[in-house]
Amino acid sequence: MFKPINRFIDFLNRKNVILFMGITLTILIIIVAIFAPYIEPYNPTKMELSQKFIAPCSKYILGTDHLGRDILSRIIEGSRVSLLTAVFVVGISVFIGLTLGLISGYFGGAVDMVLMRIVDVLLAFPTIIFALALSTMIGTGQINLIIAICCIQWTRYARVTRGEAVMLKNAEYIDAAKTIGNSNLSIILNYVFPNVISKIIILASLDMGTIILYCASLSFLGLGAQPPSPEWGVMINEGKDYIQYAPWIAVSPGIAIAVCALAFNMLGDGLRDMLDPRMKETVRTE
């Protein structure tokens, strides 16, 4: 009867506390996002001007904003927007980067040279600055925001995938697979891809928190989600004018962003330590 307890203690003794906390916080955030309509105490978009600027109290736990909307309800609803946006950005970036990285690293030659030069050029720009410039050109909105960040974020996955593919393609078991008649596509999918995916999972976990910060930053500047969306960056932008006498309007979504970023960073760090400690040096150079 004590085996589950002993396993849990052993789990913590192996220095996986960060992973455990990251998983716990991430699961809580996902649950809140999925069941947001059932958790929200009030309608997050309904305006009650008679209830504006109410400080945190028993009725409104996080207070109300300048339009009388409940801050807690808007933060809960905003978790869906932020999390869904981050999932789309990371998912698309992983697909593009993983595909191009495998092709570049496995086949090499002119394909590798062209793709990696494109990656080098894009990596010369800070992600947030590139996304800011591109968002300005293609217009505002959540979809355009996703496109803008994906246009540079895929390079991170392409470079890591390409490096692993270059090392793996000359391995003995790859030569053996070629000898018995496996096609290049079969070798990539059955031999190279499984050895790369763990590193991609680690990077994707770490990127989730970063993407949430990017999206909130661009939305704060008016280039992402637009009012009356309860996106956290939009909420901070709406609350900045009242920071002196109603700080809870801007501070509450800021704390929500920090908690999400912390949760995914802890998850990524824990997965990195568990799956591939060598990734520490790779992440530090980014």
Domain assignment present for residue 158? The answer is yes
pLDDT in tens, 153-201: 999 999 999 988 888 887 788 878 778 877 888 888 888 888 888 889 8
Contact 234, 142 (CB under 8 A): no
Domain assignment present for residue 209? The answer is yes
Q: How far apart are CA 176 and CA 178, in angstroms?
A: 5
Domain assignment present for residue 174? The answer is yes
Residue type, 96: I
pTM of the model: 0.85
pLDDT in tens, 101-149: 999 988 888 888 999 999 989 888 888 888 888 988 888 888 889 999 9
Domain assignment present for residue 250? The answer is yes
CATH number at residue 79: 1.10.3720.10
- Contact residues for 88 (Cβ-Cβ < 8 A; gap 6+): 146
Number of domains in the chain: 1
Q: What is the 3-state secondary structure (H, E, C) of 148-207?
A: HHHHHHHHHHHHHHHHHHHHHCCCHHHHHHHHCCCCHHHHHHHHHHHHHHHHHHHHHHHH
Domain of 92, in residue numbers: 15-257
Q: Sign of the C-alpha dihedral, residues 240, 242, 247, 248?
A: negative
